[in-house]
Amino acid sequence: MQVFKELGQYGTLMYQALRSSLEPGTYRSNLFQELVKIGYDSIPIIMLTGAFTGAVMTIQTAYQLESSFISESIIGAIVSQSLLIELSAVISSLVLAGKVGARIATELGTMRVSEQIDALESMGLNSVTFLVVPRILSGLLMFPVLYVLAASTGIVGGILTAYLTGALPIFEFMKGARLYFFPWDVLFGFVKMFVFGFLITSVASYKGYYATGGAEGVGKSTTQATVLGCLYVVTADFVLAALLL
Amino acid sequence: MIEIRNLTKSFGRATVWKDVTLNIHRGETLAIIGRSGCGKSVLIKHINALLKPDSGEIYVDGENVFGMDYVGLRKMRQKFGILFQGAALFDSISTFENVAFPLRYFTEQSEEEIRKNVLEALEMVKLQNVAEKSTAELSGGMRKRVGLARAIVLKPQYLMYDEPTSGLDPQTSDEINELITMLAETMEITTIVVTHDMHSVLRIADSVAFLHDQCLHWSGSVEEMKTSNDEALLSFIKASEYQI
Ligand SMILES: Nc1ncnc2c1ncn2[C@@H]1O[C@H](COP(=O)(O)OP(=O)(O)O)[C@@H](O)[C@H]1O
Ligand SMILES: [Mg+2]
């Protein structure tokens, strides 16, 4: 019962957000701030997780294929393709579900319980347009960009690791990566990030926007936003893989 | 003029109050009193349609607030200034920007005019030298004044205060009470004050509405309240340790 009520509430909020996205005047300045917070501020953590993912993948793949008789360049192919199709998107999104999702839910939740949202509404401003739209829009725009960053640092991390550990020569890595590079994989990564960006920012906005019950309530909303964000990312990842691959 | 007609509100299965009917006349100062949790804040949030009732209507200057389209709603809401209980200052922007906020979004004023109006509003509430401070640096009383400056900067016809003196020391409370009276007189504002502080009620109000036992238990002028022998009202007044 509760599930249906929440789904209805979430659906209504998304409908309102969609409708009011046509009033850019109300959210322009907030949109710019959000693009910075979601995009620019996430650069270090995304590069770090991206690079380590590539590094670990390289070591692991080299280890798994150690005694086989296939060409070494296959390692480069496996690492770069796994990064592009799956790992860069999913690992970045799980990190962002924590970083971005928690921040949005806390911000909006605090604004709700301290009546700042009521204050906006009472001035005649549409709080959904003002607060929710720029956050979701920034997620849609920035997640794909962060994917490119994560994937490229991942591949660089892989190459460096290959070189430093002597697992395989750089040119072999590059040869494999190039041979198995399909633009479709990148497109698939974009689609995923678009969906994950929407899910994480919209669920966090929803949980924050409807927070109740003071500081404790905000804490609960934030926890729910991050947990659900992660859950939806792995579920959507499965659905998209089943549908598109 | 605000007319509240047979208003009923519940959250889930819990009824807040039912069948509230009340008129608020132009220029008067109404105090809504009652115990914590009796639904005073919920009631004022209906007046400008921040919340929707289960049944009943509210007319502001003859127009039903629950039957308005978006444009009508915005116009109606801008007749009101509200001081929320915790002041509800936007904590991501400075004190100055808080007061400037309605001007930036709803007027075409130049930066210079905005500056002038913000400083004027801050002066009205007797605050100086706080404009550039962050809201986190302000004391409780100062926060309420900044909230008030923000509420009056668009020159509203109605001002609603949610527990303006709660959490303040007696002296600061008195200063806020004086401000409320002063604003009501100089700006010819209709004032609605939610409070459980009888001391404030006697200082500022013309009439009183007493929420009790899930309904509007008693309403009338302050003079009538002083001579009333309604038991619940008397015990509420007595509990606030104020002898009339
Ligand atoms: N958004 C809400 N959801 C559920 N219950 C609420 C909500 N807002 C207020 N209530 C409940 O309504 C009742 C009245 O609250 P309120 O108007 O804040 O009381 P007060 O008279 O102290 O201002 C309380 O029992 C409160 O728990
Ligand atoms: Mg209250």
pLDDT in tens, chain B (244 residues): 999 999 999 998 999 999 999 999 999 999 999 999 999 999 999 999 999 999 999 999 999 999 999 899 999 999 999 999 999 999 989 999 999 999 999 999 999 999 999 999 999 998 988 888 899 999 999 999 999 999 999 999 999 999 999 888 889 899 999 999 999 998 889 999 999 889 899 999 999 999 999 999 999 999 999 999 999 999 999 887 655 5
B39 Cα to the center of ligand 1, angstroms = 6
Best residue in B41, B76, B92 for a mutation probing chain A (most A CBs within 10 Å) = B92
Domain range annotation of chain A: 2-244
Q: Give kind and range of the element (H or E) at residue B184.
A: helix B170-186
Question: Does pTM top 0.90 for this prediction?
Answer: yes
Is B24 close to ligand 1, i.e. is its CB under 6 Å away? no
Interface of B with A (CB under 8 A): 45, 48, 50, 70, 73-75, 77-78, 80, 82, 84-86, 88-91, 101-102, 105-106, 150, 154
Residues paired with residue B83 on neighbouring β-strands, in sequence order: B161
Distance CA A55, CA B4 (A): 68
Determine the structural domain holding residue B125 and report its residue range.
91-155
To test the pocket of ligand 1, the residue of B7, B13, B15, B16 to mutate (highest count of ligand atoms within 8 Å of its CB) is B16
Q: Are residues B223 and B136 located together in one domain of the fold?
A: no
Report if residue B30 sits inside a domain: yes
Q: What is the pLDDT of residue B214?
A: 94
Is B16 close to ligand 1, i.e. is its CB under 6 Å away? yes
Boundary-marking domain end, from B155, B190, B205: B155
Report if residue B86 sits inside a domain: no
Distance CA B181, CA B191 (A): 9
Cβ-nearest to B50 among A110, A114, A118: A118
Question: Each residue of B180-203: pLDDT tens digit?
Answer: 999 999 888 999 999 988 989 999
Cβ-nearest to A115 among B77, B80, B88: B88
> Edge-to-edge strand order for the sheet containing B29-33?
B80-83, B158-162, B190-195, B29-33, B207-212, B215-221
Boundary-marking domain end, from B140, B155, B170: B155
Length of chain B counted residue by residue:
244
Distance CA A220, CA B148 (A): 31
Please name which ligand lies nearest the alpha carbon of A212.
Answer: 1
- What is the domain count for chain B? 2
Q: Are residues B22 and B64 located together in one domain of the fold?
A: yes
Q: Are residues B109 and B171 located together in one domain of the fold?
A: no
Distance CA A147, CA A233 (A): 14
Residue environment code for A209-242, b if the CB has 16+ CB neighbours within 10 A, otherwise e: bbbeeeeeebebbbebbbebbbebbeebbeebee
**In angstroms, how far is the first alpha carbon of chain B from the final one?**
29
Taking a C-beta distance cutoff of 8 angstroms, is the pair A156, A56 a contact? no
Helix%, strand%, coil% for chain A, nearest 5: 85, 0, 15
Q: Are residues B25 and B140 located together in one domain of the fold?
A: no
**What residues contact residue B84 under an 8 Å CB cut-off, 6+ apart?**
A115, A118, A119, B147, B162
Q: Are residues B68 and B110 located together in one domain of the fold?
A: no
If phi > 0 it is left, if psi is from -120 to 50 it is alpha, else beta; for residue A228 that is: alpha
Taking a C-beta distance cutoff of 8 angstroms, is the pair B24, B220 a contact? no
* Position A244, amino acid: L
**What residues contact residue B17 under an 8 Å CB cut-off, 6+ apart?**
B7, B8, B9, B38, B39, B42, B43, B211, B214, B215, B216
Q: Are residues B73 and B95 located together in one domain of the fold?
A: no
Q: Are residues B96 and B210 located together in one domain of the fold?
A: no
Of B22, B26, B47, B31, residue with least CA distance to B207? B31
Of A136, A106, A63, residue with least CA distance to A209? A106
